[in-house]
Chain A
């Protein structure tokens, strides 16, 4: 009984975990790309990793917090421009191929020994090297605080402070996306998603609109990347293709082109994922090694994504009616 309650508390903790907030941010970005504009970004992890490196490397080099965040955002803006310029005039599939490859290139560069002086190579950058400026900003007194079943340090790695900042950013991102998507600009995004030639025929600069969406979604991805590494280290191999794949699962689970889809999707995804892994660890402690638990967990996620796309392609919050006449 005690075991069960520990597992449940652990799963519930995922609802407000910094990692969940990071995934919400990345999925809100992907929602701007795919949900609203129809852009197939298969490399959101690349934007996240770039944000993480941008923030961590410049902090280690001595930048204040605001500058480190700015560097991370500018890096992702440049990345989006470089990816978008050659591909956004072409058919949609090209962006998918280029983003998946570019995200891999970022990771390979990060773990290569040539750049190890800055990136730490394969081992990455330890959290203690880059989180001081962030921690110093905390107004919270030192110590621990328990709210309900959740008890964390006020400051430090896996702290209330990271949670407060992470979820505040989520709230801000939701506000901005809400403002954008209810506007004529947001309508333009959806028009491009439905049929870009039709929108072009009405005199709109489709290329510019797609580029703006790509940049904005990428910036949210890079913010997510910063929040993701604050409670841990920057490890290039931990932010690889499977991360992109998880962000997609989060988005499709919650419902693409819905405002709260990414939030609901990420909370549900991480809570259930934790339940699954903690359950396996506790229940089959003797039979399964820890890395087997992770593998089986990943397998179940893949299966769940497939079932989701087949049986509820609109996600939890999506509107079935809208999907019924997807013309293409």
Chain B
């Protein structure tokens, strides 16, 4: 997947007018401002997640009370460069785990390995107790671990609704021979369409159901990709930079949706390179730098971790920063701007 290694797409700076109908709140000027006004969900699931993780020691490789995903000794090298080298990682069930790290840390590569889109040089991992090493990407998805992509993959010349319907599992009409006999699949198709419309309306995309997915804005495509993943009824959803390239007006509702997934009982693992973005909504944060996991813990603790600050500062030797100045939105905005200039 060479396209996955492209540098992060810069956020759209011009708000798209077509997205106005998707926002309920007054429109923020910038992503930083949008993130400031994100509120942590006060649902029972959020509180439970916080409660159970409070007992977990914030150290790298720590074991969790109820793990859904475990990775051991996963390594991926490209030529001489080790892109991923994860000794041990456990992901807690039913919480939002953020996987953060500067650009090039190996987050996408790690995602590709876990979801069967790339093969490691060594290592093993299991999902719900079942080993997934060497399993094809499609089988990983059928096991309930479904991902989205950093560079959105909308099926452009299918309508929004068709994108959704295609994602539903176990459709008898997807068998070559059964597809010829409509009565065999028309019932399933109808139920899937109803389910699709329900999810689309949650994402405020129902008005666009008959539009080609290719005609949507970048942010709407991200939402569609997330909605589409939900059509598979995943146990765990893996989102690669769901906010990249999304205009600030949509970021808030996107983060709201991610929390709603957790509140519905799903496990969420999402990748983000901007650590500021994750602190409001994630229950647990895992930090990657140069392929290794350098820290993990609850968001507030992780952001004060010296290893994390170093990881992020590694790319900014010329910036003089205090230890916790990374929590300051203004500094972060400056760092982001610097990053984009590269």
Chain A partners chain B:
yes
| Residues of A near any B CB (own CB < 8 A) | 176, 179-180, 183-188, 190-191, 193-195, 197-206, 212, 216, 321-322, 324-327
A322 contacts which chain B residues (CB < 8 A)?
157, 212
A184 touches B173 (CB 8 A): yes
A194 contacts which chain B residues (CB < 8 A)?
154-158
A185 contacts which chain B residues (CB < 8 A)?
173-176, 178-179
A203 touches B141 (CB 8 A): yes
Q: List 14 additional contacts besides A187-B166, A200-B137; criterion CB under 8 Å.
A: A184-B166, A187-B165, A190-B157, A193-B157, A197-B117, A197-B137, A199-B155, A201-B147, A201-B229, A202-B231, A203-B138, A203-B141, A203-B169, A322-B212
* CB-nearest residue of chain A to B139: A203
Asked if B162 is at the interface of the complex by the 8 Å CB criterion, the answer is yes
22 residue pairs bridging A and B, Cβ less than 8 Å apart: A184-B189, A185-B175, A185-B179, A187-B162, A194-B154, A194-B157, A195-B154, A197-B117, A199-B166, A200-B117, A200-B137, A200-B141, A201-B115, A201-B229, A202-B141, A202-B228, A202-B232, A204-B166, A212-B176, A324-B214, A325-B212, A327-B154
Asked if B130 is at the interface of the complex by the 8 Å CB criterion, the answer is no
Given A202-B146, A202-B166, A202-B167, check contact A184 B179 (CB 8 Å). Answer: yes
Given A191-B155, A204-B138, check contact A183 B165 (CB 8 Å). Answer: no
B115 touches A184 (CB 8 A): no
Which 3 A-B residue pairs are closest in the complex by CB-CB distance?
Answer: A325-B214, A184-B173, A203-B141
CA distance A24 to B32 in the complex (A): 58
Asked if B185 is at the interface of the complex by the 8 Å CB criterion, the answer is yes
**8 A Cβ contacts from B175-211 to A:** 175-176, 178-180, 182, 185, 189
Given A197-B117, A201-B115, A201-B149, check contact A188 B180 (CB 8 Å). Answer: no
CA distance A193 to B162 in the complex (A): 14
A326 contacts which chain B residues (CB < 8 A)?
156-157, 214
* CB-nearest residue of chain A to B117: A197
B155 contacts which chain A residues (CB < 8 A)?
190-191, 194-195, 198-199
Given A183-B179, A183-B185, check contact A197 B138 (CB 8 Å). Answer: no
Asked if B215 is at the interface of the complex by the 8 Å CB criterion, the answer is yes
A188 contacts which chain B residues (CB < 8 A)?
166, 174
